[in-house]
Amino acid sequence: MARNSPFDPELVRELAGLISETDLTEIEVEKGDLRIRVARQPAQVVSVAAPHHSPAPVPAAAAAPAPAAAMVAPPAKPSAREHPGAVTSPMVGTAYRRPSPEAKPFVEVGTRVEAGQRVLLIEAMKTFNDIVAPRSGTVTEVLFEDGQPVEFGEPLMIIE
Residues at the contact surface with another protein, assessed by CB under 8 A: 22-28, 30, 44, 90-94, 96, 99-103, 116, 118, 123-132, 147, 149, 152
- Using the minimum distance from each CB to another protein, give the nearer residue, 79 or 136: 136
Sequence letter at residue 55: P
In the bound complex, what is the minimum distance in angstroms from residue 125's beta carbon to another protein?
A: 4
DSSP codes, 83-121: -TTEEE-SSSEEEESSSSTTSPPS--TT-EE-TT-EEEE
**Distance between CA atoms of 54 and 31, rounded to whole angstroms?**
42
Instruction: For residue 158, give the H/E element and its range.
Output: strand 155-159
CB of 44 to another protein, least distance (A): 7
CB neighbourhood size of 62 (10 A):
12
CB nearer another protein, residue 8 or residue 146: 146
**Least distance (Å) between residue 123 CB and another protein:** 6
Taking the least distance from each CB to another protein, the nearer of 10 and 23 is: 23
Q: Closer to another protein at the Cβ: 129 or 140?
A: 129
Closest separation in Å from C-beta 35 to another protein:
10
Contacts of 128 (CB under 8 A, 6+ apart): 96, 121, 122
